[in-house]
Amino acid sequence: MHRKDVVIFATIALFFVVSTYILSFGSISDITVEGSKAEIIINFILPMDQDTFLENVTVTPAFSNPEDIQVEVRWIDDHIVALEVTELGDIKGQTVKIEIDKAPTQYAPISKHKTIMIDFKTEIEVVAPTEKLIIATDHTFEVEFNTPIKIDTLRRYIDSEHEFEIEAINTTRLNSTSTAESTIFKFTPVTNMENNREYVITFKAGLISSSGDILDSDQYVTLETDKKPQISKITPPNDSNWIGIYPKVSITSDTTIQEAYLYVNDKTIVGQIIDEHRAVFYFNNLLSADTLYEAQVQIVSPTGEKSDKYDVHFTTVPIKEDRIWIAIHMGEESKVVVYRGQNVIKQSIASIGTNINKLQMGTYYVLEKGESFYDSVTKRGASNWLKLSEGLTIHGVYRDEYWNVLDYSESQLGKPQYGSSIILPEDMANWLVDNIAVDTMVVILD
């Protein structure tokens, strides 16, 4: 091929590429914005494939969900389209990007490409919170506007008697500005606020939104800090002695308890909430005998307000080497273990009554014992029983009115059984009655 032919071919190819580019990206558009509605008129110059046009349109709002932007298409003629774009969601006055990508014309393979940015307008409004907000003195809270605001601008138009750090929560998807803007801002008190008092945050007139709207009058957010929760009763009381090696620590408050914590030996035990005003704590393991424990308890209200930490110092009961005591372990296969001092001298499987729950764990003492009992209402009884404090009873397997062993009670040993008793094999129950004295310590633990 001669050089002249090469030049001609290259010129034609270049002309074709440039022409295709111009035809693909060439268009004339006009945008009219009125509040949260906009009309875009686009002249594509070439006739368009109208049936598939909307499939090639992508909507990206700066903050709201794409579903909150409605786009309606109206063809004026075969190459001019009108797009009616409306903000439907709570967020308005934002920037919305409309991308038209590879929209086919009637002259294949030419397609159209265009990107349009719409800046909607709206008046500035605080949409949340709209009522007084009850919060803890150290808690963060969020203020939500209906339209984007630059964080630096917001800081200049805030008046508050307490100092807050302000952080933008939802930032623009469009990255069209280096200045952080948002519709939701997190406020964090620099220092704790005072309990049980009101704070007013003023967003002053003159505040400018990202779309250029100016707040014409002050808007307010009112906070009320919660009162500090108080613990009115602790059991065992502070500085108690002769506390069992598996104590149940219980607390009572005149205010509602949402959470409760016990701090001991650099560990945190989460309390079980009994009702709105009571909580209990159980230790993870048996405690050491004759040992001082320096614990603290604290409660948290529904707002997250924390009480002071209250001391719960106590000394556990001493256990001499010859002292006999009993541990009953609740679980999938429950068991009873008898100790002399710290040494195990006897153990067996046990069944825990289904009416006994984990809130009954703790330290008990034997009040009385006997050889047998019979309940005429339930028509069943048992041999060899120990009655504990708070009404719990340990005994042998259940028997019927003719004193025959009930098969289910014997076969289900080690698994839960109906009732409010702790059930043992006959030989173990008999041994306990013969060898365990009244006032013997019994701990029930998980």
**Which class for 310: exposed (0-12), middle (13-18), buried (19 or more C-beta within 10 A)?**
middle
Contact status, residue 323 vs residue 340, Cβ threshold 8 Å: yes
**CATH number of the domain where residue 413 is located:** 2.40.440.10
Joined tokens for residue 155: 């800081």
37 with 81, same domain?
yes
**Which class for 81: exposed (0-12), middle (13-18), buried (19 or more C-beta within 10 A)?**
buried
346 with 434, same domain?
yes
- Domain contains 4: no
183 with 73, same domain?
no
186 with 201, same domain?
yes
**CATH number of the domain where residue 83 is located:** 2.60.40
112 with 164, same domain?
no
Q: How many other CB atoms are found less than 10 A from the CB of residue 256?
A: 15
Contact status, residue 269 vs residue 284, Cβ threshold 8 Å: yes
The residue among 161, 194, 225 that closes a domain is 225
d(CA 252, CA 299): 10
- Domain contains 5: no
268 with 364, same domain?
no
42 with 58, same domain?
yes
Domains held by the chain: number: 4
pLDDT of residue 13: 43
DSSP 8-state secondary structure symbol assigned to residue 191: S
The residue among 316, 345, 368 that closes a domain is 316
178 with 246, same domain?
no
Q: How far is CA 386 from CA 322, 372, 374, 437, in A?
A: 21, 10, 14, 10
User: Angle at Cα 62 formed by Cα 36 and Cα 201, nearest 5°?
Assistant: 80
Contact status, residue 208 vs residue 325, Cβ threshold 8 Å: no
- Domain contains 10: no
Joined tokens for residue 158: 């805030």
- Domain contains 238: yes
44 with 28, same domain?
yes
The residue among 225, 260, 284 that closes a domain is 225
Q: How far is CA 172 from CA 36, 87, 210, in A?
A: 18, 16, 11
- Domain contains 7: no
pLDDT of residue 385: 96
pLDDT of residue 18: 38
- Domain contains 32: yes
- β-strands 380-388, 398-399: how paired? antiparallel
**What is the phi-psi region of residue 208: left when phi exceeds 0, alpha when psi lies from -120 to 50, beta otherwise?**
beta
**One digit per residue, pLDDT tens: the chain, 446 residues?**
555 554 454 444 443 433 444 444 456 889 999 989 999 999 999 999 999 999 999 999 999 999 999 999 999 999 999 999 999 999 999 999 999 999 999 988 889 999 999 999 999 999 999 999 999 999 999 999 999 999 999 999 999 999 999 999 988 888 755 568 899 999 999 999 999 999 999 999 999 999 999 999 999 999 999 999 999 999 999 999 999 999 999 999 999 999 999 999 999 999 999 999 999 999 988 999 999 999 999 999 999 999 999 999 999 999 999 999 999 999 888 999 999 999 999 999 999 999 998 889 999 999 999 999 999 998 999 999 999 988 899 999 999 999 999 999 999 998 999 888 999 999 999 999 999 999 999 999 98
Joined tokens for residue 350: 């046990």
**CATH number of the domain where residue 199 is located:** 2.60.40.1220
DSSP 8-state secondary structure symbol assigned to residue 210: T
d(CA 252, CA 263): 17
Question: Residues 78-105: pLDDT tens digits?
Answer: 999 999 999 999 999 999 999 999 999 9
Cis peptide before 229 (omega within 30 of 0): no
180 with 104, same domain?
no
Q: How many other CB atoms are found less than 10 A from the CB of residue 361?
A: 21
* 3-state DSSP assignment of residue 116: strand
115 with 141, same domain?
no
Buried b (16+ CB within 10 A) or exposed e, 120-146: bbbebbbeeeeeebebbbebebebbbb
Chain mean position to CA 269: 19
Could you list the residue range(s) of the whole structural domain that residue 209 is in? 126-225
Please name the residue that has the structure tokens 């001493």.
318
pLDDT of residue 150: 94
284 with 213, same domain?
no
pLDDT of residue 179: 61
d(CA 149, CA 244): 61
Question: Residues 175-206: pLDDT tens digits?
Answer: 755 568 899 999 999 999 999 999 999 999 99
Contact status, residue 259 vs residue 300, Cβ threshold 8 Å: yes
